[in-house]
Amino acid sequence: RDLSHNDITGPIPSTLGNLTSLQAVDLSQNKLNGTLPVELSNLPSLHIFDVSHNLLSGNLPNSRFFDNIPDYFLSDNSGLCSSRKNNSCGAVMPKPIVLNPNSSSNPLSQSTPSSPSSKHHKKIILSVSTLIAIAGGAAIAIGVITVTVLNRRVRSAASHPKPAIALSDDYLSQSPENDASSGKLVMFGKGSPEFSTGGHALLNKDCELGRGGFGAVYKTVLRDGQPVAIKKLTVSSLVKSKDDFERQVKVLSKMRHHNIVTLRGFYWTSSLQLLIYDYLPGGNLHKHLHECTEENTLSWMERFDIIIGVARGLMHLHQHGVVHYNLKSSNVLLDSNGEPRVGDYGLASLLPMLDRYVLSSKIQSALGYMAPEFACKTVKITEKCDVYGFGVLALEILTGRRPVEYLEDDVVVLCDLVRSALEEGRLEDCMDPRLCGEFAMEEAIPIIKLGLVCTSQVPSNRPDMGEVLSILEVVRSPQDSPGDEMV
């Protein structure tokens, strides 16, 4: 179950260990505290347990699963301890000495605390000549360091000319934890040369647009005034080598289509990778479907246009050998005219291998869109996985319902709900009530049936995106006026 980003507080209940059939749960990006219950060791079917970005503490439960759990499932929980990381909770680690150039205090005075009595019995007396010698040596050392630093700065300025494109200083923030001393920023297109730049995080938390399984997205502005969206990848430890990363990113940058978000560039250091995209002011489709009022809901024509636009974008990707892997409503963005553009495509190709364990937990964070073959190691992952996700997305657009809804005592899967309605002859009951009946039944029914075919459990029974687009274009007959089609 995906319970991430819900501001859940308190400890994880030990009764979770009674759910012996539990296979996957995502509790990341919440405010959970306390220790991980030992009862979790009793879950034989559990293969995904993401509790990253919480406030958890204590040792990991002793079980085979937690002995092999990936570190990124536990990241950003400063109190969690693990013997496999040589970080046992029982160990008392000495406080490190941190030299802060912005601090006037003596760091050594904080690292060796002593009681007044110990100071009384341990006095160190230095002669005047010794003090003078120490001071002289320190002055010489400072002089040598200063000259060395100045020489390095001069050489650095000569070898790294000022870049032709720079990010606005208003949107820069230092991030020494995630940045190296220098990084490589490459912008694609005419007049956008490849260049090296200083170690900036290029991000501003106040401009965060959202988070997903692959990373957080921020809005920033280039110095020429162009707004862009920057995706900070949160799977740095899994990303390919620099050369492979650049090669694959350049392939993705060539995916130019009216219904695809353009990849404008990338930024690389060994510990930080950023992808730079066009910024689209219309927001993502998920917000329009699930967070808008009835007055601002998408019309039938707008929904049909979005479905066709997404189909065109996916077909273009597939024609160029790119599999999306993570199609969902939050990865469909709208421009200022309401035109859809598919984003976050092909990010799985940046990993060293298509690890299904990683894909199902981080990339495919919305389990409702995931094709069933992701759970079977013997079945090849192909474009038909995207077709399945498209079918779920089409049903989501028509019904206004989420792919999976967790009720108090039940779980409603959208595909199953619509399939039952089709068998009982009440498809009109599935349509989004916010449309108030203003939709074309002659178009809605074929699209619903197409969505169900796309979500077939057998990949070979699903059409390809070219066939999907052909069907959609036939369904929308240009000779019929919109007024005659409304029920």
- The secondary structure of 367-396 as a DSSP string is GGG--GGGG-TTSPP-THHHHHHHHHHHHH
How far apart are alpha carbons 467 and 462 in whole angstroms?
10
Residue 315 has pLDDT above 60, yes or no: yes
How far apart are alpha carbons 236 and 226 in whole angstroms?
27
Residue-averaged pLDDT of the chain: 74
Q: What is the pLDDT of residues 342-375, one digit of tens each?
A: 999 988 777 655 554 455 555 545 678 888 887 6
- pLDDT bin (cut points 50, 70, 90) of residue 205 is low
Note the pLDDT of residue 312: 97
User: What is the CATH code for 169-278?
Assistant: 3.30.200.20
Residue 299 has pLDDT above 80, yes or no: yes
What contacts 24+ positions apart, CB below 8 Å, involve 426-429? 428/487
Percent of the chain with pLDDT over 90: 28
Give the residue, 126 or 391, on which the prediction is more confident: 391
Note the pLDDT of residue 43: 80
Paired sense of beta strands 31-34 and 55-59, if any: parallel
Q: What is the pLDDT of residues 279-288, one digit of tens each?
A: 999 999 999 9
Looking at domain 285-485, which of 2.40.50.220, 1.10.357.10, 3.20.20.70, 1.10.510.10 is its CATH number? 1.10.510.10
Residue 468 has pLDDT above 90, yes or no: yes
Whole-prediction pTM value? 0.62
Give the residue, 413 or 102, on which the prediction is more confident: 413
Note the pLDDT of residue 159: 44
Residue ranges covered by each domain of the chain: 9-81, 169-278, 285-485
Note the pLDDT of residue 211: 77
Q: Which of 81-95, 137-151, 294-308 has the highest mean pLDDT?
A: 294-308
Note the pLDDT of residue 219: 86
Residue numbers in the known binding site are 232
Note the pLDDT of residue 261: 95
- Average the pLDDT over each of 113-127, 306-320, 326-340, 445-459 and give the range with the smallest value: 113-127
Residue 442 has pLDDT above 80, yes or no: yes
HSE at residue 315, side-chain half, CA atoms within 13 A, is: 16
Average pLDDT estimate for 328-334: 94
- pLDDT bin (cut points 50, 70, 90) of residue 15 is confident
How far apart are alpha carbons 434 and 35 in whole angstroms?
44
Average pLDDT estimate for 158-180: 38
Asked: is 9-81 a CATH 3.80.10.10 domain? The reply is yes
Residue 6 has pLDDT above 90, yes or no: no
Residue 393 to residues 12, 57, 316, 432, 435, Cα–Cα distance (Å): 32, 38, 18, 14, 17
Give the residue, 139 or 37, on which the prediction is more confident: 37
Residue numbers in the known binding site for ATP are 232
| Closest to 221 (Cα-Cα) out of 282, 166, 293 | 166
Percent of the chain with pLDDT over 70: 67
Average pLDDT estimate for 219-233: 81
